[in-house]
Amino acid sequence: MIKRTLYIANQCYLRVQDKQLVIKLKEGEAKTVPIEDIGFIVLEHPQISITLPVLSALNDNNVAVIVCNEKHVPHAMLLNLDSHHIQSELFRNQIETSEPLKKNLWKQTVESKIKNQYRLLNKLGKSNALLKSLSGNVKSGDSDNREGVAARFYWEQLFGKAFIRDRYGEAPNPLLNYGYILLRSAVARALAGSGLLATLGIHHRNRYNAFCLADDIMEPYRPFVDEIVYDIDEKYPEANILCTEHKTELLRLMAKDVLIGKRKSPLMLALTQTTASLARCFAGKEKKIEYPELV
């Protein structure tokens, strides 16, 4: 079942009653949503009040609770730390993964990312021949940085020669940042649901990064965010701020159709399939991560 994404941008009071999330706005009647139907909640308004039983119930259902800061940008999330029945075994498999396997998994990840970048450019009728060539020449561990070479070409084709992808750059960078933060939280939720540690990456190893594995696994999914941002940028070329309408469009990412295992599936469910296959790779049961194809 596709889980719902709730975006709450008004002052309200949240409580739980009969396994329902009760949302009481400052003015107006209370609304209820079955907690088991929720996958993500984005809490944006600074005057949202929430009870501890709500957080506990959301955690029990592996709901990713995303909290925004005073700039209305997501900066924290609540994740379940005990969401799999053989979690200690899965942790052990992950910790004991050999370096050659990690390099092979990263090679697969980079290949899938470049292929999806290629598919997006192809879908938009833009030049993509270089990416097709690069995706077939990735070495173990991407030792010659095909990912970086592909990125430079990709951004130039997608948003023009003047565009520079930078976290603090001009539009549409704020839209990309917001979409990637949502994607990162979705990947972290899926990893937790598959019993994996989001901290221990296969490629990313920054000592200050608590979500290295999430940053690894989200790479082939980034072009799905890029496509939404491209569409927004085409509709509102003068937009340079994140408005509610833009955020609402980006939140549709979770229900976006992707092709995985030769079947169409919402991105949210595809993430679960990807992280479950990764757990099997760590356990030595499989050798390939199941990544999606952009359609």
Q: Is 129 a residue whose pLDDT tops 80? A: yes
Can you list the domains of the chain with their CATH numbers? 4-78 (3.100.10.20), 87-282 (1.20.120.920)
C-alpha to C-alpha distance for 137 and 140, rounded to whole angstroms: 10
Confidence of residue 33 (pLDDT cuts 50, 70, 90): very high
Highest-confidence range of 50-64, 140-154, 185-199, by mean pLDDT? 140-154
User: What tokens were used for 21?
Assistant: 């999330």
pLDDT, residue 84, reads 59
pLDDT, residue 1, reads 63
Q: Is 105 a residue whose pLDDT tops 70? A: yes
Find out whether 192 and 262 touch, Cβ atoms under 8 Å.
no
Q: Region 120-124: what's the mean pLDDT?
A: 96
Find out whether 200 and 212 touch, Cβ atoms under 8 Å.
yes
Q: DSSP code of 206?
A: -
pLDDT, residue 86, reads 74
pLDDT, residue 239, reads 59
C-alpha to C-alpha distance for 169 and 226, rounded to whole angstroms: 15
Percent of the chain with pLDDT over 70: 96
pLDDT digits (tens, 9 = 90+) for 168-196: 888 899 999 999 999 998 999 899 889 89
Q: Region 136-155: what's the mean pLDDT?
A: 94
Q: Is 83 a residue whose pLDDT tops 80? A: no
Give the ranges where the chain is alpha helix by DSSP (H). Answer: 52-60, 87-95, 99-123, 129-135, 146-159, 173-193, 212-217, 222-235, 244-251, 267-282
pLDDT digits (tens, 9 = 90+) for 199-252: 899 998 877 787 899 999 999 999 999 999 999 988 876 656 778 888 888 988
